[in-house]
Amino acid sequence: GAGVSQTPSNKVTEKGKYVELRCDPISGHTALYWYRQSLGQGPEFLIYFQGTGAADDSGLPNDRFFAVRPEGSVSTLKIQRTERGDSAVYLCASSLIHEPTGFTTGELFFGEGSRLTVL
Amino acid sequence: DAKTTQPNSMESNEEEPVHLPCNHSTISGTDYIHWYRQLPSQGPEYVIHGLTSNVNNRMASLAIAEDRKSSTLILHRATLRDAAVYYCILRDVGFGNEKLTFGTGTRLTIIP
């Protein structure tokens, strides 16, 4: 389909393991976001990419979390030494950039998320 | 970030209009008002956004108070598929500040 695709849809891992979550944004969307959502809470911002660079990583909780977008399209969120508190749904979103202003249009298209469970 | 306040939950009858309120008394002049909704087991979905004037699209209408300290999302005729959590978000379009900060939203229940 033409929407944002996230894989895997579900991931169960053990405490201390390394995890990668992948996001395929909508073709042509320069802006890409990662959020995470715990049960009963709204999505929590993690990081924002404009093209290949992380323009805002202020939401990454600690240095165990890292994200890359090497070619400006697909992005990978990497979590090292996972902890039980990392269990959540990780959401990816993409958006167009309004070229005259350089800002996103404000219309984010979200994927269905990757549910991470750390045992 | 300027904050928004929404009721935790609301109920509405099917086929009736729904008015979802949002207070944002500390809104700044460069804050856009965005609404997203999240259906069960799905990612959030964009609904509408505006700055000062009321806005309409195929999904909903956004009514913005003259002083911009509050806004209302209007669903003209609720269906069961509109049952979701609705988030009112302020977005400052200052350079480099592109994140949307979600709160806990309003859980809308539609009664058949």
Model confidence at B27, in pLDDT bands (50, 70, 90)? Answer: very high
Name the residue facing A112 among B34, B43, B100 (closest C-beta). Answer: B43
* Interatomic CA distance for residues B46 and B30, integer angstroms: 20
Inform me whether the pLDDT recorded for A105 exceeds 70: yes
Mutation for testing the A interface, residue in B22, B87, B99, B102 having most A CBs under 10 Å: B99
Model confidence at A83, in pLDDT bands (50, 70, 90)? Answer: very high
Mean pLDDT of B40-68: 94
Better-scored residue on pLDDT, B23 or A106: B23
Nearest-neighbour CA in chain A from B88: distance (Å)? 11
Residue A53's SS3 state is strand
pLDDT for B98 equals 78
What residues of chain A lie within 8 A of the CB of B106, using their CB?
none
pLDDT for B92 equals 83
Name the residue facing B96 among A55, A106, A108 (closest C-beta). Answer: A55
For residues A21 and A76, the answer to whether their CB atoms sit within 8 Å is: yes
pLDDT for B1 equals 60
pLDDT (tens digit per residue) in A9-25: 999 999 999 999 999 99
pLDDT (tens digit per residue) in B65-102: 999 999 999 999 999 999 999 999 998 876 556 788 89
* Interatomic CA distance for residues B91 and B73, integer angstroms: 16
Per cent of chain A over pLDDT 90 is 83
Model confidence at A1, in pLDDT bands (50, 70, 90)? Answer: low
Count the alpha carbons within 13 Å of B27 in the hemisphere toward its beta carbon. Answer: 27
Residue B40's SS3 state is coil
Model confidence at A97, in pLDDT bands (50, 70, 90)? Answer: confident
Strands A88-95 and A97-98: unpaired
Alpha helix positions (H), chain A:
none
Q: B94: exposed, middle or buried (C-beta count within 10 Å: 0-12, 13-18, 19+)?
A: exposed
